[in-house]
Structure 1
Amino acid sequence: MTYGWIIYNGSLPGNKFLDFAEMLQRAALRAGSQADIVKNNDLLAVTDSKGMELLKPNGLNIPEYCLFTDKDLHLARQLEAMGISVFNSSHAIEASDDKIATHQALAKRKIPMPRTISAPKTFLQDSPLGEKQLQLASKALGFPMIVKEAFGSFGQQVYLVNDMAELQEQVQKIGGKPFLFQEFVETSRGIDLRLQVAGDEVVASVRRTAVDDFRANVTNGGKMHSYEPTDAECELAIAAAKALGCDFAGVDLLHGELGPIVCEVNSNAHIHNLMDATGIDASDAIVRDVLRKVKDRRKQF
């Protein structure tokens, strides 16, 4: 029997993150694999002249695979360096977490997405971009425009600006944090699609709508309903997940004027709300694909 870990962040409040881990644990058991749920802060990564090891609770065995539902990149890289198969990989988590890196990866594959401009890096909180850069961005994208911090979740750190004064004010507030400018897709105002990808298939999909917000995220008041995606939407979601190296991902699509376009790729998207809306427990498909890849890796050694 294969043995794995399901790692989640033990410092975050509430049960949302533990709930996701428990869904994966039950799916692993249904698939014939034993998996322990482990908090990231119960593990200490050790590096010295002898190599790498982990300080871990007594009785916890080193796994063959790890379902990594956190963003602790240093821990994920340590596990990989120790020969443990990590899903999603540290590279996929890093690329998905950084929205600038996400759009660069999508652009390399020429995947449809909103036109996006990365703001230059600044080091000081009080050294935002000057008038020249803001004029260039507004001329390229027009108003209204999306300003989005590179790191953020649940639709937070995403702002709609309607003119130059609002743009200057928002950039001033962001300060030295990395961010991007993005074309606002009016045809998808308050509407998006979440397609859950596992391996080479879309296993569940919802349409999210909001009445009083340009964002459709449920956290911001959006409503979620089961949705039957088109072939083109499924192909786009799978291609986006693969572009970032994700074994599983929640891919958010917008309704562009010429068809679906990719908004974001979430490497550790929570799936309980998805199950509530669709009746589909995506954890089974996620675990099934992971265990198949673990079995294939065994054959190589």
Structure 2
Amino acid sequence: MNINGWIVYNGHLPGTKFADFAEWLQCAAFKQNIDIKLYKNNELLAYLGNDNHALLGDQLSLPDFVIFTDKDIYLARQLESLGIRVFNSSKAIEVSDDKIATYQALAEQHLPIPKTIIAPKIFPSTTVIDHTFTQHAIKKLGFPMVLKEAFGSFGEQVYLVHNQEQMLNKIKEIIGKPFLFQEFISSSYGRDIRIHVVGDTVVASMIRNASNDFRANVTAGGTMEPYEPSEAEKELAIAATKVIGADFTGVDLLFGPNNNSLICEINSNAHIRNIYECTKVNVADYIINYIINTFRKDQRHLL
């Protein structure tokens, strides 16, 4: 198919995993004879003026589509304003990146999540905190309890507290940042399911286990093995993907009481090397095929 694209990733994050994700997608595109270029987000500057808005960069020729593997929603939004189809959309990235917004969107559609209380906004300069709201959280959720910052990746910025003292100390540490209180799902301690969804299809899944941490993230030391999700788990992961309006996601499910699944997180830019090493399924191939089919459908609608 005669389309061309870009893959955008963050140019300032340390390590190679972010470029690695982009390169996997690029290789999958090349296999389909699609011309696709890699760009760091700092190579594409959004320009705004009274008479124009554009991208600043060296010899740029705008593509038909962009696969956006970063969380730079302002750049993603700028690309969309220029008429470029962005996978995933800036809105999907924005909701996925904000755990509070994610849980609100899921709750509005009555999808199963752990009981959650959103902490009130506290400005960084606040010196005296009225802890009445923490008493409500304790009464409703009890201990142990999970505190989550709204923004964070790879299981970081997620904390398990066992008593009021630990809770208050953690709040002091993260004051000024949006966060939430959440019930601790003991039946899922150190284990969860990662399901990769592309379009309306579950394409790969694994179970993650950690022996010495309540979080199951592989980056934090967890192990992984292939997993065949039930139809209910597949439907839940697909529904979660649709709620945030994403084209592809990595959905994390917890093992709730009585084997009922709970949605823990929706990742709009879930990395795919681990799932490949675990299952030998290359999610990048499915993403590229999805993009090709999207453009084919658009062409048919124009006929």
Asked whether the 8 Å contact 2:123–2:175 carries over to 1, the reply is no
Deviates more, 1:76-85 or 1:48-57: 48-57
Q: Structure 2 counterpart of 1:252, which letter?
A: D
Superposed CA offset, 1:148-191 (max 9, x none): 00000000000001111111111111111000000100000001
- 1:191-230 matched pairs, under 5 angstroms: 191-230=191-230
Q: Structure 2 counterpart of 1:280, which letter?
A: V
Q: Structure 2 counterpart of 1:204, which letter?
A: A
- 1:1-301 matched pairs, under 5 angstroms: 1-58=2-59, 60-127=60-127, 129-258=129-258, 259-300=260-301
Aligned residue pairs total 300
Superposed CA offset, 1:13-53 (max 9, x none): 12111110011111112223211111110111111122211
Query: Residue 215 of structure 1 aligns to a residue in which SS?
Result: coil
Deviation of the 1:265 alpha carbon: 0.2
Deviation of the 1:128 alpha carbon: 7.0
Partners of 2:176 and 2:195 in 1: CA distance: 33
Asked whether the 8 Å contact 1:226–1:278 carries over to 2, the reply is yes
Partners of 1:85 and 1:104 in 2: CA distance: 26
Deviates more, 1:102-111 or 1:121-130: 121-130
Change (3 A) 1:200 1:267: same
TM-score after normalising by structure 1 = 0.97
Deviation of the 1:232 alpha carbon: 0.8
Partners of 2:58 and 2:138 in 1: CA distance: 53
Partners of 1:153 and 1:178 in 2: CA distance: 15
Partners of 2:235 and 2:61 in 1: CA distance: 39
Residue identity over aligned pairs, in percent, reads: 52
Q: Structure 1 counterpart of 2:269, which letter?
A: N
Unaligned 5+ runs, structure 2: none
Partners of 1:31 and 1:128 in 2: CA distance: 59
Partners of 2:187 and 2:17 in 1: CA distance: 32
Superposed CA offset, 1:266-300 (max 9, x none): 00000001100111100011111122223333455
Deviation of the 1:56 alpha carbon: 1.4
Partners of 1:174 and 1:125 in 2: CA distance: 12
Unaligned 5+ runs, structure 1: none
Detail structure 1 runs of 4+ shifted over 6 Å in the superposition: none
Query: Residue 180 of structure 2 aligns to a residue in which SS?
Result: strand
Asked whether the 8 Å contact 1:127–1:176 carries over to 2, the reply is no
Query: Residue 251 of structure 1 aligns to a residue in which SS?
Result: strand
TM-score after normalising by structure 2 = 0.96
Partners of 1:298 and 1:161 in 2: CA distance: 53
C-alpha RMSD of the superposition: 1.2
